[in-house]
Amino acid sequence: MPQPSPSDSPLVAVIGGGPAGLMAAETIARAGLRVALFDAMPSVGRKFLLAGVGGMNITHSEAAEAFVSRYREAAPWVDQWLQAMDATALRQWIHDLGIDTFVGSSGRVFPTDMKAAPLLRAWLKRLREAGVQLHTRHRWQGWDAEQRLLFETPDGPRRLHADAVVLALGGGSWARLGSDGRWVTSLADRDVAIRPLVPANCGFLCQWSDHLTQRFAGQPLKAVVASLTSLGGERLQRRGECIVSADGVEGSLIYALSAPLRELIEHQGLAELQLDLAPDRSLEQLSNLLAQPRKGQSLSSVLRKRAGLDPLKVALLHECLSKEQMNDPARLATGIKSLPLRLSATRPLDEAISSAGGVLREALDEQLMLRALPGVFCAGEMLDWEAPTGGYLLTACFASGLVAGTGVVEWLER
Domains and CATH numbers, the chain: 11-199+352-413 (3.50.50.60), 204-346 (no CATH)
* Long-range contacts from 99-102, C-beta under 8 angstroms, 24+ separation: 101/58
Bridge partners of 244, per DSSP, are 219, 249
Residue 174 pLDDT = 86
Nearest to 37 by CA among 160, 171, 183: 160
Tell whether pTM > 0.85.
Answer: yes
Query: Percentages helix, strand, coil for the chain, rounded to the nearest 5?
Result: 40, 25, 35
- Mean pLDDT score across all residues of the chain: 95
User: What CA–CA distance (Å, rounded) separates 41 from 137?
Assistant: 5
Beta strand 204-205 pairing with 376-378: unpaired
- Please write the tens of the pLDDT for every residue from 228-265: 999 999 999 999 999 999 999 999 999 999 999 999 99
The radius of gyration of the chain from alpha carbons, rounded to an integer in Å, stands at 25
SS3 state of residue 335: helix
Q: Write out pLDDT tens, residues 57-115.
A: 999 999 999 999 999 999 999 999 999 999 999 999 999 999 999 999 899 999 999 99
CA 289/CA 120 separation, integer angstroms: 55
